[in-house]
Amino acid sequence: MDVGCAVGRLSFELVRHADLVIGLDLSAGFVRAARTLVREGQLAYVPVIEGELTEERLVRLPTDLPRERVEFVQGDALALPFPASLFATATSLNLLDRVPVPRHHLAELNRVTKTVGAALLVADPWSWAESPALPTAWLDGRLGGDNAGDSRTNLQHWLVTACRHPGASAARDASTGRCAIAATTSN
Ligand SMILES: C[S@@+](CC[C@H](N)C(=O)[O-])C[C@H]1O[C@@H](n2cnc3c(N)ncnc32)[C@H](O)[C@@H]1O
């Protein structure tokens, strides 16, 4: 599962390594575009280049890509529409600092991935801002209190404790080694 997949760049990359990839995004427009890519293998679009200037472009998927193995759904990273323990792998790139309650997104990643041996890839520029989330909801990046320190260092801690939010299933124990966590910084 690729959460916050936009038009599916990573989802399409992952499909070479998985039996089935689900890309999920809140944006109906992105999901529609990604589904067009699955159906037709290409997508025509007209981006704004500057001001009123636009340009006609065409993106094509590689012909050997097994695109029948990827599906796109519209959904919320804070309330993933999947049962617990479904996925072996979950990715979340450049999303955590854009949701109103980042801890709930981590909790949901935790809930829908397998209890043992799941792999999570979470990458983010950690650009906390008040527009998506109040400072008290930021994972870290604060000088004091519960959110003191830097998010990259504290991610594993948050992945374990975040699943205690009221909407999540029972808390899981870090000592079980239930998931391999790759925390990266991206921008
Ligand atoms: C900065 S883009 C990252 C796209 C892609 N993961 C990447 O790294 O190129 C953030 C994406 O998350 C989606 N998004 C924002 N809030 C979301 C939410 N609550 N649930 C699911 N997707 C969300 C946006 O629509 C957008 O496609």
For residue 6, give the CATH number of its domain. Answer: 3.40.50.150
Rounded CA gap, 187 and 178, in Å?
28
Q: How far is CA 160 from CA 11, 66, 85, 134, 164, in A?
A: 25, 35, 15, 22, 8
Report pTM: 0.87
Residue 151 Cα to ligand 1 midpoint, Å, equals 19
5 Cα nearest atom in ligand 1: 6
Question: Which pLDDT score, from 0 to 100, does residue 95 have?
Answer: 97
Residue for token digits 């590689």?
62
Nearest partner of 158 among 144, 145, 146, judged by Cα: 146
112-145 pLDDT, tens digit each: 999 888 999 999 999 999 999 999 889 888 888 8
Domain that holds residue 38: 2-185
Work out how many domains the chain is built from and give that number: 1
Question: Which pLDDT score, from 0 to 100, does residue 24 have?
Answer: 98
- Cβ burial of 143 (10 Å; 0-12, 13-18, 19+) is exposed
* 78 Cβ inside 6 Å of ligand 1: yes
39-92 pLDDT, tens digit each: 999 999 999 999 999 999 999 999 999 999 999 999 999 999 999 999 999 999
Q: By alpha-carbon position, which residue is closest to atom 3 of ligand 1?
A: 94
